[in-house]
Amino acid sequence: MRDKVTMAKRTVTKTDMLVARNIKRLRGIYSISRRELEEKAGIAYGILDQIETFHKPAGKTIQKRITDALACPLTELYMEETLRKVMEPAALYLKERQKRLLDAAEHLSDRQVDETLDFMEWLLARKNMTRGAKKK
């Protein structure tokens, strides 16, 4: 698959195409038409058609309006199908706070993830040390 598709003097990237497919998938899950979602999200008529047919990329503002209208996290628009298949069964067993932590982690840089993991490991080690001290 080519990295970019150019249509009507607009460039749509693979990421834009992923977002468009996920918007269409979410509309199917929520059983909502393009027009209904445009109204609910406050988007101009015909924009979703252009996005879902890869004629126009969905900007960040439109993405936010769509996810707000559907009451789903913005990260849902960027999730690959293979990742979704792995995460959905596991998500059933996560507490709400754990889900929020995972959603937040998706927006961190690699360095921030490493620093956060180091901090969490330190916290767990400290917790285990205090448990050991209480048992004595």
Identify any residues that bridge with 7 across adjacent strands, giving them in sequence order: 10
Contact between residue 66 and residue 58 where contact means Cβ atoms under 8 Å apart = yes
pLDDT surpasses 50 at 2: no
Give the chain's mean pLDDT: 81
Task: Name the burial class of residue 63, with classes exposed (0-12), middle (13-18) and buried (19+) by CB atoms within 10 angstroms of its CB.
Answer: buried
For 40-59, the pLDDT digits (tens) are 999 999 999 999 998 899 99
For 83-124, the pLDDT digits (tens) are 555 555 566 667 778 777 777 777 777 788 888 888 888 988
Quick one: pLDDT band at residue 136, thresholds 50, 70, 90? low
CB proximity list for 78: less than 8 A, separation 6 or greater: 15, 18, 19, 22, 106
DSSP 121: H
* Cα 44 to Cα 31, 35, 109, distances in angstroms: 20, 9, 34
CB atoms within 10 A of CB 116: 14
Quick one: pLDDT band at residue 133, thresholds 50, 70, 90? low
The residues spanned by each domain of the chain are 4-78
Contact between residue 76 and residue 22 where contact means Cβ atoms under 8 Å apart = yes
| CATH for 4-78, options being 3.40.50.300, 3.40.50.720, 1.10.260.40, 3.40.50.2300 | 1.10.260.40
Please tell me the pTM assigned to this model: 0.56
